[in-house]
Amino acid sequence: MSARAIAEQNGAALTDSRADQTVAAQSRPRGAPQKKSNKRDIHGWVVLDKPVGMTSTHAVAVIKRLYAAKRAGHAGTLDPLASGCLPIALGEATKTVPYAVDSRKTYLFTVRWGEERDTDDAEGRVVATSDRRPDAAAIQALLPRFTGTIEQVPPRYSAIKVDGERAYDLARGGETLELAPRTIEIHHLQVIDMPDPDHAVLAAECGKGTYVRSLARDLGRALGALGHVSALRRNRVGPFHEADMIPLEQVEALCHRAAAGEGHLADTLLPIETALDDIPALAVSPADAARLSRGQAALLRGRDASIIRGVVQVAASGQLVAIAEVERGEIIPRRVFNLAGIAGRAGRKRVQDDVDNDRA
């Protein structure tokens, strides 16, 4: 991914912080002293087990408030109807959001046969019905057509922009939309259960830009049964798995315990570099780390200097310094990290142990 693309995506992650500052400035009487902010420099990942009914934007706002963080963003929207893995980045971790967003995701979803809805999920209006009900064999036989690199038309009720407007806003306004198909990658698709003739439970592993709602819609049309998503759970986003997820009430409890001196906030957050699991790590000297922190290139040293190339995560003394590109023996920083403040340091087992202890 280019440095420009990363910068553009990270700009979105900083929107809440700038909006907060603007609202505060507008509401302050002219001439009044500026109120000191109690927001903190705090850096790391919370892998929220998002509950059904909550928007991703609201979830980020709640986590940001609990940690009193200056900046926050998420790695891939989940619809209100969906539950599960919503990785939320705080502080400098927002600079790694694109790496998580671009990674594979896995879902468990239920298709309700017999009804197609305008939103392609249970919250929409019924627009067509069918009396046909497919069996497991018919569904499984069709799945190869929807596996691999395919073209998919996004739902009309989606965040895709059409002439500068969000598709869901245009759809809610009554406009008829014809969204262009997109090329997506579905790596795995399988029937898991058929609890009754009206429902089928499937598992999917897919790449960036895939809409599970569209997948259910298209399966229903191909089978002649019509269908929509009636339940959806995301259980993985790249390096963030089911075992990393924490329910909202447990996040609240951990934050309250830390505030009472029964722990430290750093122990409730996964480190920033958790999102960079697929990127090779490179250790440098403190002197080179200082150069990279100033945005300056450093020479690659050591016996492997001639074979290392491409994107790397750079650390010094065990602390993340930058995401960089190695070109012709030089380490060129693309994203530099300033970890002043509180930086996540929890191992995955430690976060889960804290959650389990709180439940006990």
Would you call 277 a catalytic residue per the annotation? no
Q: Are 89 and 214 in contact (CB under 8 A)?
A: no
Distance CA 229, CA 234 (A): 13
Which one-letter amino acid corresponds to residue 111? V
Measured CA distances, 167 to 156, 157, 172, 179, 219 (Å): 6, 6, 9, 9, 22
Tokens for 88? Answer: 């939320």
Cα of 209 vs its chain's centroid, Å: 12
Question: What backbone torsions phi and psi does residue 19 show, to the nearest 5 degrees?
Answer: -65, -40
256's CB contacts (< 8 A; 6+ apart) are none
Task: Report residue 2 CA to chain centroid gap.
Answer: 19
Contact 41, 70 (CB under 8 A): yes
Task: Give the span between the Cα atoms of 258 and 351, in whole angstroms.
Answer: 13
246-260 burial, b at 16+ Cβ within 10 Å, e below that, comes to: bebebbebbbebbee
Sheet with 310-316: strands ordered across: 281-283, 310-316, 319-327, 330-336, 298-299
Residue tagged active-site, from 16, 49, 79, 121: 79
Measure Cα distances from 131 to 81, 113, 123, 138, 221 in Å.
Answer: 25, 9, 21, 16, 13
The residues that are catalytic are: 79
